Amino acid sequence: DVKVTQSSRYLVKRTGEKVFLECVQDMDHENMFWYRQDPGLGLRLIYFSYDVKMKEKGDIPEGYSVSREKKERFSLILESASTNQTSMYLCASSLAGYNTDTQYFGPGTRLTVL
């Protein structure tokens, strides 16, 4: 079974803090993704990575950055957290390849910025 883990289930941070969300997958997947989930908006892609040290912007990258130093780990960074970044953050991974492969998700991190 594919296993995607996220470092925290719940986080509470203050405005202006630097926040790190960590994601690890154990299936040797090339692709990794970060989404945020807000009521009524579904999941929106923040960033994705298709290889170590590679990253691509998704639909809503503003206010976020990412890091992928190892294949199994993909970090989402909020350089200066703001209240409008309060949300559920979901990490996913998938195999690379010509066909769109299934993305497998972690349990999510619910972040509250006060």
Partner 1 sequence: AQKVTQAQTEISVVEKEDVTLDCVYETRDTTYYLFWYKQPPSGELVFLIRRNSFDEQNEISGRYSWNFQKSTSSFNFTITASQVVDSAVYFCALSGLNNAGNMLTFGGGTRLMVKP
Q: Is 72 left (phi over 0), alpha (psi -120 to 50) or beta?
A: alpha
According to CB under 8 A, which one of 19, 23, 66, 92 is a site residue for partner 1?
92
According to CB under 8 A, which one of 46, 74, 85, 106 is a site residue for partner 1?
106
> 36 near 87, Cβ under 8 Å?
yes
Cβ closer to partner 1: 47 or 85?
47
Identity of residue 48 = F
Among candidates 59, 29, 39, which has minimal Cα distance to 47? 59
According to CB under 8 A, which one of 56, 65, 80, 83 is a site residue for partner 1?
56
Residue 45 in the binding site for partner 1 (CB under 8 A): yes
Residue 87 in the binding site for partner 1 (CB under 8 A): no
* Minimal distance, residue 93 CB to partner 1, in Å: 11
Cβ closer to partner 1: 45 or 77?
45
Binding site for partner 1 (CB under 8 A): 9, 31, 33, 40-45, 48-50, 56, 58, 88, 90, 92, 94, 96, 98-108, 110
